[in-house]
Amino acid sequence: MRGSGIKRLILGVTATLLVPLGITVLGSPSASAAFNPAAFDFWVDSPVMGPIKTRILRAADGNTDRVVYALDGMRATELLNGWENDTNVAEVLAGWNINVVMPVGGESSFYADWNSPSSFFGVPAGAGSSAANTGSGATEAMGAGPGKSYRYDWETFLTNQLRWALRDRLGFNPNRNGVFGLSMGGSAALTLAAYHPDQFSYAGSYSGYLNISAPSMRELIRAAMIDAGGYNVDSMAPPWGDQWLRMDPFVFAPTLIANNTRLWIAAGSGTPMQQDLDIPFGAAADRLVRGSPLEALALANTRAFQVRMDTLGARNVVYSFPPTGLHAWTNWQEEAYRMIPDMSANIG
Active site residues: 183, 295, 327
Per-residue DSSP letter, 213: T
- In 3D, which of 96, 101, 127, 115 has the Cα closest to residue 185? 101
* Sheet with strand 40-46: strands edge to edge: 40-46, 50-57, 99-103, 67-71, 177-182, 200-206, 262-266, 317-320
Contact 327, 295 (CB under 8 A): yes
- State the number of CA atoms in the 13 A half-sphere of 329 facing the CB: 25
- State the number of CA atoms in the 13 A half-sphere of 108 facing the CB: 31
Which distant-in-sequence residues (6+ apart) come within 8 Å of 166 by Cβ?
A: 42, 67, 101, 172, 174
Q: How far is CA 232 from CA 104, 194, 252, 254, in A?
A: 20, 25, 24, 29
